[in-house]
Structure 1
Amino acid sequence: MPLDSAAIAILEKVSTATLTTVLLKKGLRNVWMRGTRPLREGQPRVVGPAFTMRFVPAREDLATPASWASPISTRAAIEDMPEGAVAVIDAMGISDAGVFGDILCARMSRRKVAAMVTDGVVRDVTGVRSTGLSVWCNGVAAPPSVAGLTFVGWQQPIGCGGVAVFPGDIVVADDDGAVLIPAALLDEVLAEAPEQERAEAWIMDEVARDVPLSGLYPMNEATRARYEAWKRGG
């Protein structure tokens, strides 16, 4: 299901660091996808529903260039991606075979896919950067995916960077990497995350005024009262 514009507008203003704090308070510790680093500096924060893709280890009878024309292929999966989705790719952290290169990323960009997130690596990195697609990955490698991976399907539960990802979960990615918001918790996060961000911005202003951390972060009762008064006055 597409994510509505109001939810996107809220989450585009909330850092992944803040989201991990909000989710930690709800008991979720494992939401940051390990090995998901921005491919380019300055990529804007991206928000979108997860479109999942899954690789398993390469098997010689399946991981061949001929498999690229199969009905179950990365090419077919890309043609199924909706506009605004974040493609989340389970590559099991394999770092010596690129999941996608420039041609596939260019097609994703043409289909207005919001971003690609993977615990694997990409190839044709100069070309990938030129497509304009926002990519979070674990590095680059020249060999194609079939050198180390077998593609087995899309839109099924996967693991990416040690995090369980279900189709339709919400992904937010920025300079700190990619974080998952379970779809069932989205409304709660939308209600709470902006306030967490606002409170931390106020705390930063207090630090700039040379206020000691004790009682400030986390806020004690007196500091909380000052903060609430500031909100009423603002």
Structure 2
Amino acid sequence: MEPHLVDALQGISTATITMVLLKKGLRNVWIRGANTLTLDQPKIVGPAFTMRFIPGREDLATPDSLSSPRSTRFAIEEIPQGAVAVVASCGIADAGIFGDILCARMAARGAVGLVTDGAMRDVEGIRKTGLPIWCSGICAPPSVAHLTFVDWQQPIGCGGVAIYPNDIMVADRDGAVVIPRALVNAVVEAGHEAEALEEWILQKVLDGRRLPGLYPPDEATTAEYLEQKAKG
């Protein structure tokens, strides 16, 4: 992903991104169940590297399957530098998809973070890896207790949201959102303008201005904003 787009999206909140995409007709872009593991972890931006689990089946989800060529171990070795691992886990909360060793390897390969609608395990260890993580919770059992890993770099449904490989992921304290590749430039342009407008509106609120006509801005307020913006 182009560095200037990463830098630009770092300056736009996920809340603003969801509103920009809503205006473009996309309502379902916020991943349900993906919460920050720690409040101090940094915001992340990067292309999606997708991985997919399905509900476990006893003849397939076995300890031996962890060494299979069709396993998370092999998938992680394909993650490119700068990517966000996005893992579909069916929202299953009583099987941890990854622990400290796999997260450490993702960090070593240059992944900028992990987003999943599932749970993690080895919480103290994964915190030490420094990998920013958005997940639904923490549990002790391994993935094979209730999940079967099936594929990577395929379209997935994570937290009720369709994610395609190389879609752009942005995650902050409000959660994780997906931006279709084709809309990134438009989101950057509209997002920065929306952030600037809201900062101006907030200052007016702090100055005592009433909300009707201000937020959302009516024609008069918009004209006032554009005039002040032109004056610098």
TM-score normalised per structure 1: 0.98
- Deviation, 1:192, is 1.0
| Structural RMSD (CA) | 0.6
2:125 is matched with 127
5+ residue gaps, structure 2, are: none
1:190 to partner: Cα distance = 1.7
Correspondence for 2:205: 207
Query: 47, 61, 64: which one pairs with 1:49?
Result: 47
Give 3-state SS (helix, strand or coil) of 1:32's partner.
coil
Is structure 2 residue 103 aligned with structure 1 residue 105? yes
What per-residue deviation string (whole Å, max 9, x for no partner) do you get for residues 137-192 of structure 1?
00000000000100000000000000000001000000000000011211211221
Counterpart CA distance in 1 for 2:200 and 2:82 is: 32
Match of 2:113 among 107, 112, 115: 115
The separation in 1 between residues aligned to 2:31 and 2:58, in whole angstroms, is 29
Report the AA paired with residue 48 of structure 1: G
Partner of 2:175: 177
Q: Please state whether the residue corresponding to 1:99 is helix, strand or coil.
A: coil
Q: CA deviation at 1:85?
A: 0.3
Alignment of 1:139 onto 2:137: yes
- Alignment coverage as a number of residue pairs: 232
> Partner of 2:187 in structure 1?
189
- SS at 1:217 equivalent: coil
Question: What is aligned with 1:36?
Answer: 34
Q: Which residue of 1 aligns with 2:222?
A: 224
Task: Quote the residue 2:163 is aligned against.
Answer: 165
Aligned to 1:91: 89
Question: Shift of the alpha carbon at 1:13?
Answer: 0.6
**CA shift for structure 1 position 91:** 0.1
The amino acid that maps onto 2:110 is K
Identify the match of residue 56 of structure 2 among 55, 58, 66.
Answer: 58
Distance in structure 1 (CA, Å) of the matches to 2:5 and 2:157: 25
Equivalent in the alignment of 2:3: 5
1:76 deviates by 0.4
4+ residue runs of structure 1 moved beyond 4 angstroms? none
Structure 1 segments unaligned to the other structure (5+ residues)? none
1:62-86 CA distance string (max 9 Å, x none): 1011111111110101000000000
Matched, 1:21 2:30: no
Any idea what the Cα deviations from partners look like across 1:99-158, whole Å, max 9, x if unmatched? 000000001111110100000000000100010000000000000000010000000000
CA separation in 1, counterparts of 2:22 and 2:227?
A: 27
Q: Which has the larger displacement, 22-31 or 191-200?
A: 191-200
Q: For residues 179 and 81 of structure 2, what CA distance do their matches in structure 1 show?
A: 19
Shift of 1:90: 0.2
Cα distance in 1 for partners of 2:43, 2:11 equals 8
**Quick one: distance in 2 between partners of 1:115 and 1:199?**
30
Q: Name the SS of the counterpart of 1:49 in structure 2.
A: strand
